[in-house]
């Protein structure tokens, strides 16, 4: 909920459009932490980056 709220308040939200986002990385960007003060971990270095979307449209 806190990351969603931060996204809602971000005037530059459109810059994130069109890509898969990792919530832990958004939390770091917006300074959101767990209730105990820890930063949620991102597993990008282990799992790799999300797949890029293909620009083709299917109707």
pLDDT tens digit sequence for 43-54: 888 888 887 777
* Pairwise pLDDT comparison (47 vs 55), residue with the higher score: 47
Residue 6 counted as domain residue: yes
Q: Residue 58 domain-assigned?
A: no
**Averaged confidence pLDDT in the chain:** 88
Question: Which class for 42: exposed (0-12), middle (13-18), buried (19 or more C-beta within 10 A)?
Answer: middle
pLDDT score for 5: 96
> Which among 21, 27, 26 has a CA at the least distance from the CA of 52?
21
What Cα–Cα distance (Å) separates residue 33 from each residue in 2, 17, 27, 55? 9, 23, 7, 34
Distance CA 15, CA 31 (A): 18
Which of 6-15, 27-36, 42-51 is least confident? 42-51
Is residue 30 a part of any domain in this protein? yes
Domain of 34 in residue numbering reads as: 2-47
Residue 58 has pLDDT above 80, yes or no: no
Domain count across the chain: 1
């Amino acid at each position: 909920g806190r990351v969603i709220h931060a996204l809602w308040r971000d005037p530059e939200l459109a810059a994130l459009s069109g890509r898969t986002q990792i919530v832990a990385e958004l939390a770091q960007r917006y300074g959101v932490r767990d209730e105990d003060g820890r930063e949620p971990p991102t597993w990008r270095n282990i799992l790799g980056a999300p797949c890029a979307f293909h620009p083709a449209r299917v109707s």
